[in-house]
Amino acid sequence: MSTHSLIQTLPKTELHVHIEGTFEPELMFAIAQRNGIEIPYQNVEEVRQAYDFHNLQSFLNIYYAGAKVLVHEQDFYDLAWAYFEKCAQDHVVHTEIFFDPQTHTDRGIAFETVLKGLKRACDDAQEKLNISSHLIMCFLRHLSEEAALATLEQALPFKDDIIGVGLDSSEVGHPPEKFARVFAKARAEGFLIVAHAGEEGPPEYVWQALDVLQVNRVDHGVRSEEDSKLMQRLIDDKMPLTVCPLSNLKLCVVSDMREHNIRRLLAQGVMVTVNSDDPSYFGGYVNDNFIAIAEALDLTAAEIKQLCIHSFIASFLPESEKQAWI
């Protein structure tokens, strides 16, 4: 079987995808038009041309601007539904979706509007596509601890629909420990914990994610390789890393896919998984990420299968459901 067919055929989960990062320009234009909101582009080609990033911040500026056209519950539904259709194409049978409530509530959109739209799409995906999902709410780390605490309070009435909390946005200068109290409260409320760490930030931020935030998974974490003690800790704890190869390439975390460390991390026994992060902005969904690393790093069929198995082990699915897929 060809590598492409193998990747296409294998069932998998996706554990690191920002729903706002799945916003394709065509849908952005359609929603902007129906909401009467101006966007600073004439057409879809102009939008795609703007997607030329040199680091995380240069991407985030455009990503937050695009999200401004999302206003109504139906907008959030349409955004998530379009992503679920991509999941179906890529044989993603389960996905754990990040959303950034502060990007919307800071513009006067109700938390409930965002959540209800996303949740309705999740319910429809289960019913119509047989794809299961969880929602993970991320705090924007460039904003204050106080703002994150207020967001956590807003989420409590919807606790049953949100499996966990995470930490995203501008990493350098905003270490995990800035949010120690927010994550302690989230843990006490029963949320599972993830955090972006070691994407652009140093290994020290991964240590803080583990020891201060007490994460269940690390998002990205690729810079952990710079610290051998940290590597041993990740291996000993079977701590998953949700790696996003095309994101790392587009945001210049690596300068060439042939230099990506995911294969080395896998060989050393780290629980790495493959994910798309912000597929509309970075040039591909999860299978495109598999193909990119399979080609650049010459992955074997066994390695590709192992990465898919990891995606189930590292998921927040009940143990019995994981086993059924492995």
Would the annotation count 278 as a binding residue?
A: yes
Q: Of 200 and 277, which has the nearer Cβ to Zn ion?
A: 277
285 touches 86 (CB < 8 A): yes
Q: Does 90 bind Zn ion (CB under 5 A)?
A: no
* CA dist., res. 186 & res. 48, Å (int): 37
Closest CA to 99 of 128, 77, 123, 130: 77
| Binding-residue pattern over the window 246 to 285 for ligand HPA, x denoting contact by CB under 6 A | -x-----------------------------xx-------
197 touches 209 (CB < 8 A): yes
Which residue is associated with the tokens 């101006």? 38
262 touches 278 (CB < 8 A): no
- Annotated catalytic residue 199: yes
- Encode burial over 60-77: b for 16+ CB neighbours within 10 A, e otherwise: bebbbebbbbbbebbbbb
Residue nearest to Zn ion (CB): 277
Select from 59-67, 71-79, 151-159, 272-280 the region that touches Zn ion (CB under 5 A).
272-280
Given ligand HPA, Zn ion, none, residue 24, with its beta carbon under 5 to 8 Å by kind, binds none
* CA dist., res. 206 & res. 176, Å (int): 8
Q: Of 60 and 93, which has the nearer Cβ to ligand HPA?
A: 60
Q: Of 73 and 199, which has the nearer Cβ to ligand HPA?
A: 199
Q: Is 253 helix (H, G, I), strand (E, B) or coil?
A: coil
Q: Which of 119, 137, 168, 224 binds ligand HPA (CB under 6 A)?
A: 168
Which residue is associated with the tokens 């705090």? 139
* CA dist., res. 86 & res. 161, Å (int): 22
Q: Does 100 bind Zn ion (CB under 5 A)?
A: no
**CB of 170 vs ligand HPA, minimal distance in Å:** 7
Cα-based angle 325, 199, 221 (whole degrees, multiple of 5): 45
* CA dist., res. 114 & res. 119, Å (int): 9
Q: Of 104 and 322, which has the nearer Cβ to ligand HPA?
A: 104
The site that binds ligand HPA (CB under 6 A) totals a number of residues, namely: 10
Q: Does 277 bind Zn ion (CB under 5 A)?
A: yes
Q: Does 14 bind ligand HPA (CB under 6 A)?
A: no
- Encode burial over 17-30: b for 16+ CB neighbours within 10 A, e otherwise: bbbbbbbbbebbbe
Would the annotation count 310 as a binding residue?
A: no
Q: Of 41 and 99, which has the nearer Cβ to Zn ion?
A: 99
Q: Does 56 bind ligand HPA (CB under 6 A)?
A: yes
Given Zn ion, ligand HPA, none, residue 113, with its beta carbon under 5 to 8 Å by kind, binds none
Q: Which of 10, 13, 15, 18 binds ligand HPA (CB under 6 A)?
A: 18
Binding-site residue set: 16, 18, 196, 277-278
Which residues sit at the interface with ligand HPA, rule CB under 6 A? 18, 21, 56, 168-169, 196, 199, 247, 277-278
